[in-house]
Amino acid sequence: MIKIDVRRKAFGEEEVLRDIRFEMDVGETVAILGPSGIGKSTLLRLIAGIDPAFDGEITRPEKIAMVFQEPVLLPWRSVVENLTLVHPDLGTQAALSALERTGIVDKAGLFPGQLSLGQQRRLALARAFAGRPELLVMDEPYVSLDPTTAEEMLALTEALIAETGPAVILVTHSEAEAHRLARRRLRLAGKPATMVKEFAAGSASASWEGHHDRA
Ligand code: ADP
Ligand code: MG
């Protein structure tokens, strides 16, 4: 069970987030939508535990993986070592299968800098799922990809989520992405940003209040 209760988050005088509350079960997928600058990445950093400076309380599982907009990779380690060093329990064979699964096993011996952005993101995805996270947090993982690559990445993420079963929080400003990957969608609006709840299509049985905007 994941419980988010952010009463207030400010940077100095600038109050960014106010009264953001929601709960998730393992296996649930939630998209957080909202315009640029509203506070989505800030909220995600609180949820992931990277930024502990806020008023409120967050209950999260132990095994968390993050996928950032710009993949954070070890530049002087090979692609396969980017998996085995981050996940010491993962053997080389398992790391190679993870690379196979994300379509970059032929790049195993290269450095991350020798990969295209799309391939770097595939590596970040392989690394995130290789740890079998209970919570996967993704911050606009498909921006600035061409439509074909973006579609491939989305399909791959969908399949990996289905296989691995983590709770997923996806931050995006794309409605289409949110519809595709997430069962619930939450929107941030206002200054400081607070939360507007929404239903995803087909989730009429969800137990929290909201409205059907695409039933
Ligand atoms: P989004 O991800 O929705 O585009 P962010 O969470 O990145 O928005 O930013 C929300 C607001 O918080 C912005 O006004 C931004 O300038 C501010 N902000 C984010 N991080 C910091 C920081 N480390 N220090 C000061 N202000 C910040
Ligand atoms: Mg952001």
Q: Sheet containing 184-189: which strands, arranged edge to edge? A: 64-67, 135-139, 167-171, 29-33, 184-189, 194-199
- Closest residue by Cα to atom 14, ligand 1, is 37
pTM of the model: 0.90
The tens digit of pLDDT for each residue in 159-170 reads 999 999 999 999
Distance 161 CA to ligand 2 centre (A): 22
What are the pLDDT tens digits along the chain (215 aa)? 899 999 999 999 999 999 999 999 988 999 999 999 999 999 999 999 999 999 999 999 999 999 988 888 999 999 999 999 999 999 999 999 999 999 999 999 999 999 999 999 999 999 999 999 999 999 999 888 898 999 999 999 999 999 999 999 999 988 889 999 999 999 999 999 999 877 665 544 333 333 444 43
36 CA: nearest ligand 1 atom: 4
Q: Give me the residue label for tokens 């209970």.
A: 134
Tell me whether strands 135-139 and 167-171 are parallel, antiparallel or unpaired. parallel
End-to-end CA distance of the chain: 27
Distance CA 114, CA 107 (A): 9
Which amino acid is it at 101? Answer: R
Distance CA 102, CA 86 (A): 17
Within 13 A of 92's CA, how many CA atoms are on the CB side?
A: 4
* Ligand found nearest the CA of 33: 1
Closest CA to 171 of 188, 148, 155, 159: 188
3-state helix, strand, coil in the chain (%, to 5): 35, 25, 40
Structure tokens at 70: 């710009």
188 CA: nearest ligand 1 atom: 3
Distance CA 72, CA 66 (A): 10
Which helix (H) or strand (E) covers residue 98, if one does?
helix 92-101
The ligand 1 site (C-beta within 6 Å) comprises 11, 16, 34, 36-42
44 CA: nearest ligand 1 atom: 6
Distance 184 CA to ligand 1 centre (A): 24
Peptide bond into 71 cis (omega under 30): no
Residue 57's pLDDT is what? 98
- Closest residue by Cα to atom 22, ligand 1, is 11
Q: Give me the residue label for tokens 């940003």.
A: 193
171 CA: nearest ligand 1 atom: 2
Residue 73's pLDDT is what? 94
Structure tokens at 61: 């599982």
* Ligand found nearest the CA of 188: 1
* Ligand found nearest the CA of 139: 2
